[in-house]
Amino acid sequence: MGGVSHPRSRRVSAGIVGGSGYSALELLRLLARHPRLELKWIFSRSHTGEPVASVYPSLRGVVSASFAPVEEPAALAGQADVVFFATPAGVAAEQAPLFLESGAAVVDLSADFRFRDEETYRRVYGKSHPHPEWLASSVYGIPELFRDELAHARLVGNPGCYPTAALLALAPLAREALLDPDAPIVVSATSGISGAGSQPGPAYHFPGATENVRPYGVPGHRHAPEMAAVLGRLVPPGKSAPVLTFIPHLVPASRGILATCVARPAREMPDEELLERYRRFYASHPWVRVLEPPELPQTKAVQGSNFCDLAIRWDPVAGVVVAMAAIDNLVKGAAGQAVQNVNVLMGWDEREGLEVVPLYP
């Protein structure tokens, strides 16, 4: 379960398990322009043998591959250096070890390897993990927070989209023990409809979703314990992280996450100090943009890109800090971050293949 070798010069072959969702489409779009990662195969049980461009018309003339003509992804083990799992929960938990044992690195875009112990996994998902022996070696894939661990990883648990935005917004305060451990953090966040996947239920269809904003999964959304677990890892040893409550909302947009995090700091922190701390914390991280006042994050400003836009404010009336983050849920919240993770574990510049200017308007 050690680290992978870092082939810095040659092109690295990539496979994708799960080819029928939006995350797979984003992976294909990004891999098509990556200078070092080369798509070797893509597996989809529902599109076996079909040309990729016939399923995703946006990739006509861009991706010439067809979905692998095999019935099970196991037949593809040993045929790629890096394997992305863009599958529903439970698939990677069963199948990722096969690819790991064949020598590949694995990046799982589902939630199967985000928790480092089976007890937490069982509590959140209500079932045992089929391969708990791999959980402790999985690295949580936010490069801005765990870059050193990722550099030696073979198995990456790609974070959820909501946790990515919220944790990036809160990390500078957590790492320096600047959060009051006795005051709960409130994370209120919105998501575009693509976050529900390419085959959503009735509530996500156009008639029910357009001109409508609604909360869901309150309380008990599975991203809440993910945020809490990682927040606990970010605070210094011997310190406690505040409890966290999470309120997600669905908005009538195709893409985007906007997270607003309200936290009480351990002491008064004026805007100037907060801004300087955030600038310093993210100075070496190219995909995080700390906005200058009076600018605030907006999802349109990051659409289609791997950027996370952050803003931080002190509210002197309530005595709280308001940390805000905007990301594209399919890029920095999924496929883009997965590619960024591979760049880091391969020892490449983490911007490779991701230098896409956001789409606006």
Choose the catalytic residue: 65, 68, 155, 161.
161
Q: What is the pLDDT of residue 202?
A: 75
Spatial separation of the C-alpha atoms in residues 90 and 113, rounded to whole Å: 10
Token duo for residue 61? 């003339």
- Reported as a pLDDT band with limits 50, 70 and 90, residue 3 is low
Token duo for residue 291? 């906005």
Torsion angle of the four alpha carbons 85, 86, 91, 92, in this order, in degrees rounded to the nearest 10:
30
| Secondary structure (3-state) at 132 | helix
Q: Which residues contact 147 (CB under 8 A, 6 or more apart)?
A: 344
pLDDT tens per residue across span 195-213:
877 666 777 788 888 899 9
In this structure, which amino acid lies at residue 54? Answer: S
How much of the chain is in helix, strand and coil states, percent to nearest 5?
Answer: 35, 20, 45
Q: Give the pLDDT mean for 115-137.
A: 95
Q: Which residue has the tokens 């593809």?
A: 76
pLDDT above 70 covers what percent of the chain? 97
pLDDT of 361 > 90? The answer is: no
Establish whether 261 is a catalytic residue: no
**What's the gap between Cα 27 and its chain centre?**
13
Q: How many helices (H) and strands (E) does the chain have?
A: 10, 13
How does the average pLDDT of the chain come out, rounded?
95
* Lowest model confidence (mean pLDDT) among 82-91, 92-101, 130-139, 200-209: 200-209
pLDDT tens per residue across span 279-313:
999 999 999 999 999 999 999 999 999 999 999 99
CA distances from residue 301 to 314, 328, 347 in whole angstroms, order as listed: 23, 9, 29
| Residue ranges of domains in the chain, CATH in brackets | 12-137 (3.40.50.720), 162-329 (3.30.360.10)
pLDDT tens per residue across span 213-249:
999 999 989 999 999 999 999 999 999 999 999 999 9
Q: What is the pLDDT of residue 4?
A: 56
Spatial separation of the C-alpha atoms in residues 116 and 136, rounded to whole Å: 5
Q: What is the pLDDT of residue 1?
A: 43
Q: How is the beta sheet containing 139-140 ordered, strand by strand?
A: 37-43, 12-17, 82-85, 105-108, 155-157, 139-140
- Reported as a pLDDT band with limits 50, 70 and 90, residue 8 is low
Spatial separation of the C-alpha atoms in residues 7 and 12, rounded to whole Å: 7
